[in-house]
Amino acid sequence: MLLTLQLMVILACLFYGARKGGMALGLLGGIGVVVMVFAFNLPPGKPPVDVMLTIVAVVAASATLQASGGLDVLLQLAEKLLRRNPKFVSILAPFTTCLLTMLCGTGHVVYTMLPIIYDIAIKNDIRPERPMAASSIGAQMGIIASPVSVAVVSLVAFLAKAPEGQPIIGFVTLLSITIPSTLFGVLMIGIFSWFRGKDLDQDPEFQALIADPESRQYVYGESATLLGKKLERDQWIAMWIFVAAIVVVATLGAFEALRPTVAGKPLSMVLAIQMFMLMAGALIIIFTKTRAAAVGKNEVFRAGMIAVVAVFGVAWMADTVFEANLPVIKEGLAGLVKTQPWTYAIALLIVSKLVNSQAAAIAAMVPVALAIGVPPGYVVAFAAACYGYYILPTYPSDLATIQFDRSGTTKIGKYVINHSFILPGLIGVFSSCVAGYLLAAARGIV
């Protein structure tokens, strides 16, 4: 009975925090901790300090890249690729936004690409819903495949503390599963999107819209492009510094011997990520004209700090409850997760929708899953299930996609759940989980 009440408190905090948005999710976790400690007399859990510090380092580097203008280099290169192959935009666009997310660690890069993708589609008589909805989903799917995303660095830190007797899955092994499985999922989205919906000349709603000259002008409008924008030398320098830091981190993860020995063991990859991400941000400021004051004012930094608070509050609240009730939880769920470990993926997907954050879902579910006996291999295999907030069209990137599609083809249906993102999301995440499981099985970790 007490555990049920405690779980209800957690759900109430998650529901209300997600509904209020922004910092509310993490702050509501603070209320949950207070209730658990003072009302239920539970010992306070341990906040994930290593995870939080890693997020801060990664966000600082990514925000410095954006402040330097180095992100525009990547966006311009992406636009060149799409405009050279307009007929294949439904497949190339989600790959482009996914790869940008993998490089930058945040799905917020999609906002700049959306008007460009719309322009390419509408000027080539391609239903904009096809590439645009796929691109929004692809951008978010790239998070779990990014070496510098909040979700991945959080997952690496939690896997490093797997219970005794369980294998420790490292940074490179994790990415060797999540990167190809994510790209496979994005490919499935692209193939589906190629054929979805009616062609514009066969769509009566669209034809009725452009029958009015004023509406037609609004739909086709002027071209949105970054191609005419002159890029400065400093922007290229910042981009190469950031990419080089990612390469160094990946190399250190792949070759353990390159890491210095600390207390008889190779340096933790969590610490290596923190060091090189902070250094990348510092080098960008030193070798370019980036104003340090601008770093803390952009969207990447703001979103990253919100993620830190969310992970802090949600993970601390969850750890307080689950650590105190671990014997009861193990007794009730251990048999289920051992015989049907795929149920972990469903739980992760649902929690992700509740908290609208992949990092927060991982912070809430992965420590619990490892504690009750879910093998680390399954946690990695089903990592893509941490993206579930496409189920309802409430996430900012999905809402922005609807607004950028002036043709009205990307939309929320009459019953809300039948919106433009639900099928690409389900196809992408399911395909990624299947591919992740097969890859993990081939590696011998499941």
Q: What is the pLDDT of residues 375-406, one digit of tens each?
A: 899 999 999 999 998 987 767 788 888 888 98
Domain that holds residue 232: 2-443
Give the pLDDT band of residue 251 (cuts 50, 70, 90): confident
Rounded to whole angstroms, the Cα distance separating 61 from 369 reads 31
Cα-Cα-Cα-Cα dihedral sign, residues 389, 395, 400, 406: positive
For a pLDDT cut of 70, what percent of the chain falls above it? 97
* pLDDT at 432 > cutoff 90: yes
Q: How many domains does the chain have?
A: 1
Q: What is the DSSP letter of 260?
A: P
Contacts of 305 (CB under 8 A, 6+ apart): 59
Q: Record the pTM.
A: 0.77
**290 close to 70: Cβ distance less than 8 angstroms:** no
Report, as an integer, the average pLDDT of 226-240.
89
User: What's residue 310's pLDDT?
Assistant: 80
Instruction: Report the candidate in 61, 106, 57 with the shortest Cα–Cα distance to residue 238.
Output: 61
* pLDDT at 157 > cutoff 80: yes
pLDDT tens figures, 172-199: 899 999 999 999 999 999 999 999 999 9
Report, as an integer, the average pLDDT of 348-352.
86
Backbone angles phi, psi at 161, to 5 degrees: -110, 30
E strands along 224-356, which residues? 261-262, 265-266
User: What's residue 226's pLDDT?
Assistant: 76
The partner residues of 266 in beta bridges, in order of sequence, read: 261
User: What's residue 337's pLDDT?
Assistant: 67
Instruction: Report the candidate in 401, 306, 295, 304 with the shortest Cα–Cα distance to residue 70.
Output: 295
Give the rounded distance of the alpha carbon of 352 from its chain centre: 11
* pLDDT at 287 > cutoff 90: yes
User: What's residue 297's pLDDT?
Assistant: 87
